[in-house]
Structure 1
Amino acid sequence: MSEPLVIVGNGMAAARLVDELAKTALGRYAIAVIGAEPRLAYNRVLLSSVLAGETASHEIELKPADWWRHHGVTVKYNCRAAEIDVGRRELRIENDESIEFSKLVLATGSTPLRLKLPGADLLGVHTFRDSRDVDLLLTLAAQRKRVVVVGGGLLGLEAAYGLAKAGARVDLIHLMDRLMERQLDAPAAALLKSLVERKGIRILLNANTARIHGETHVEAVELVDGRRIEAEAVIFAAGIRPNVTLAMEAGLSVNRGVVVDDHLQTSAPGVFALGECAEHRGICYGLVEPAYEQARVLARHLACGNAAYHGSVVATNLKVSGVSVFSSGDFFGVDGTESIVLNDASGGTYKKLVISDGRLTGAVLVGDVADALWYLELIRSRAPIATIRDRMMFGRALALPSRRRDAMTFSLP
């Protein structure tokens, strides 16, 4: 008889775990997926493309309904998990139904931060995180509303781009002195700002939000320095926090995220966590690729019990507000490192490679990211680069002889 495995969350991490389990442990587990959103798992990275009208909502679905049925997976969406009883090995969902499990996986993701500001409870204040948020923002854009987006990280830029392309008038305000300060160095961020502003988005840096004005509905945003920005809506896109409420109430060990070991197991035997809600060796990864790596490891562990996760080399490889951006490794450059830089602001291209002890240790690319995966593999493998150093900036095609290019084919999941 198949062992009951319940996955709480129906996002990208959960879908990848089921996909990996279908390859490694088909038939061993009777899998049930419980998701709070009112639809099947979808590619959250493409929400801004839906908002911008570049992609239809149904096109970002990760797997069609018949795929889940073909693999014998029970999917309950629009269904919120309410309580985990670790001792009784039961999960209760909000309609009082209980589901027994032998093993349980938490893939509950994150929730968007809502800044605690005067006026944050006014009508017209929204977040940008899931497909329901996209529907609200599309309505704002269709009405040609004037919108202020708070946050100059990935989420904020994506919200601003999607809204502007859909017809809204957009101001983006960011607390820090540059955009995407965790993923880009100062020159790369400056180029990104210039490229985004060409799309009709006004960007204000060093802009600390003080309050939101309005009687019942948003009318303006006031900054700490006294500047006032007229607005009819405000979008908070200032970060996320791991969704750990269910785990905490169940008595599992929680810091910022649900604490897991190298087998992705929580403090309770047979209960696992992965993706944005999980904290491994003190790190919560808020990116897709680490979640996919965790899914592969957990699937192998559930299949044969001998796989371990040792952490991820974080990389950002995305199209941000229509601009291709990549960064990985120590791209800021610590003492003792060297940097090779190509900065073509007019051409919309910036490249920076950081070298230490004869190896590539970090990279930042804006505009031209054609060789991003090659640079990422060099960083991960710590391969010596002495023989290609003088040509490396110009890409894999020029850096490697043809016979070596044929032998070195890299890909990401």
Structure 2
Amino acid sequence: MSTYDEHLVIVGNGMAGHRLLETVLAHPHRPRHITILGDEPATAYNRILLSPWLAGDMDREALTLRHNDWYAAQGVSLIAGERVTAIDRQCRTLTTDQGRRLAYDRLVLATGSRAARPAVPGSDLDGIHAFRDLEDGERLASLADAGGRAVVIGGGLLGLEAAEGMRKRGMTVSVVHRAMHLMNRQLDPTAADMLATELRARGLEIHTGADLAAYAPDADGQRATGVVLSDGTTLAADCVVAAIGIVPNTTLAERAGLATARGIQVDAFMTTSDPNISALGECCEFEGTTYGLVEPIWRQAEVLAARLCGETPAPYRERPCATKLKVSGISLYAFGPIAPTSAHEVLTYHDPQHGDYRRLLLRDGVIDGAVLYGDTGDGPWYFQCALAGDDLSACRQALLFGASDARPLLEEVA
């Protein structure tokens, strides 16, 4: 059977599954029969925009990637609102929670992830929310519109975006972060302090170096009414949001006997331990790495789409990713290591009056990492130079001032 005649089934109509679908459809040798299943009733939408939508910066319609009629026009069978519960690898069939049974030739798992919850007393109480999908966003928006107090556990990207969105809708919001500064995986202390100062000025309460000890229950022991920190501080809340990270959804793969660790284990062509089943996105694990940013997932989709359409693509490889925060009015851009080593030369520019900060880590004249806050316009240029391994020694004295000052010096020695 040629790849064109195969039935391709994609489990998961989130951003990874949808990106794969669109990439496959653009291929001249796409499979003729394609089915995509999603357990959410909505068609594919842009989860990246959930944060600005929660903040009221855009309409719900702006999140939608495709409407129902698009799938039919592409010859794709869309099954929405059904969860796949079992895979029979020997018969190459899958079963949904509605009793539907589908046969496949090639199967792709794009089952995404779920929010991690701190393992502390009270974690099973009602009133503890996540911020992962549209249903979560709608629930948080409704709660925020009613006012009151919220506590967000986690001062990383998602936690800060959720906190600012709920604050803009009228809630008093506290952020509890275990590390000593916000976004400690992306920012150095100086940039993080600038970020915290700005967020506090907007009305957010920031608690760093704060360990969550327990969720505070109501009198009936049914619902969370706040959090208790390890120092005994209690923060009351009408709503608690846990945003400490994600856990790959591997249950379906485990039931089918596929190899899993933190995620569904795949090779450099996104193939699982079963040659007829692939996985990509937040549910998969490649060489010990799991995923939460779209850039590597988009590259996974390119590799897998080519493979599903009969090509032999270049294998997937890890490479650095850049980070941006989706909070209106705040610009930051970061990539690479946070803490400098003895092998790094550190270049720093700081203008507190104008709220600008840049720190570059150089290794033998090559940018190894960068943190930018305020004016981030040169962030992508720094990142491209880092990926290319460009030796920037000739423009070192102008490097902190960006591409417009550095490029002429590079051209002089070219």
2:395–2:409 CA contact under 8 A, matched in 1:
no
What is residue 381 of structure 1 aligned with on the other side?
388
Does 289-298 or 338-347 show the bigger shift? 338-347
State the distance in 2 between where 1:311 and 1:134 align.
31
Counterpart selection for 1:165 from 148, 165, 168: 168
3-state SS of paired residue (2:193): helix
Distance apart, 1:29 and its partner CA: 3.8
Does 83-92 or 300-309 show the bigger shift? 300-309
What is residue 64 of structure 2 aligned with on the other side?
61
1:266–1:273 CA contact under 8 A, matched in 2:
yes
What is residue 358 of structure 1 aligned with on the other side?
365
Counterpart selection for 2:23 from 20, 35, 45: 20
Distance apart, 1:305 and its partner CA: 3.2
1:329-408 residue pairs with structure 2 within 5 A? 329-401=336-408
State the distance in 2 between where 1:371 and 1:139 align.
38
Distance apart, 1:94 and its partner CA: 0.8
2:264–2:283 CA contact under 8 A, matched in 1:
yes
What is residue 302 of structure 1 aligned with on the other side?
308
Q: Mark the runs of 5 or more structure 2 residues left unpaired by the alignment.
A: none
State the distance in 2 between where 1:324 and 1:46 align.
16
Distance apart, 1:402 and its partner CA: 11
3-state SS of paired residue (1:365): strand
Note if 1:116 corresponds to 2:116. Answer: no
Deviations 1:355-399 (A, max 9, x none): 111211111112222122211111111011123222222222232
Does 66-75 or 162-171 show the bigger shift? 66-75
What is residue 240 of structure 1 aligned with on the other side?
246
Note if 1:95 corresponds to 2:98. Answer: yes
What is residue 322 of structure 2 aligned with on the other side?
315
State the distance in 1 between where 2:56 and 2:119 align.
31
2:301 maps to a residue whose letter is A
2:392–2:410 CA contact under 8 A, matched in 1:
no
What is residue 264 of structure 1 aligned with on the other side?
270
Note if 1:250 corresponds to 2:251. Answer: no
Distance apart, 1:207 and its partner CA: 1.1
CA RMSD of aligned residues (A): 1.8
State the distance in 2 between where 1:320 and 1:291 align.
23
Percent identity over the alignment is 40
Distance apart, 1:114 and its partner CA: 2.0
User: Taking structure 1 as reference, are residues 125 and 182 closer, same or farther at Cα in structure 2, changes over 3 Å only?
Assistant: same
Note if 1:107 corresponds to 2:110. Answer: yes
3-state SS of paired residue (2:232): coil
State the distance in 1 between where 2:310 and 2:366 align.
36
Distance apart, 1:298 and its partner CA: 1.0
1:133-152 residue pairs with structure 2 within 5 A? 133-152=136-155
Distance apart, 1:85 and its partner CA: 1.2
1:315 maps to a residue whose letter is A
State the distance in 2 between where 1:220 and 1:271 align.
43
3-state SS of paired residue (1:310): coil
State the distance in 1 between where 2:276 and 2:153 align.
40
Distance apart, 1:170 and its partner CA: 0.4
1:195–1:348 CA contact under 8 A, matched in 2:
no
3-state SS of paired residue (2:35): strand
Distance apart, 1:403 and its partner CA: 11
1:212-223 residue pairs with structure 2 within 5 A? 212-213=215-216, 214-215=218-219, 216-223=222-229
Does 59-68 or 353-362 show the bigger shift? 59-68
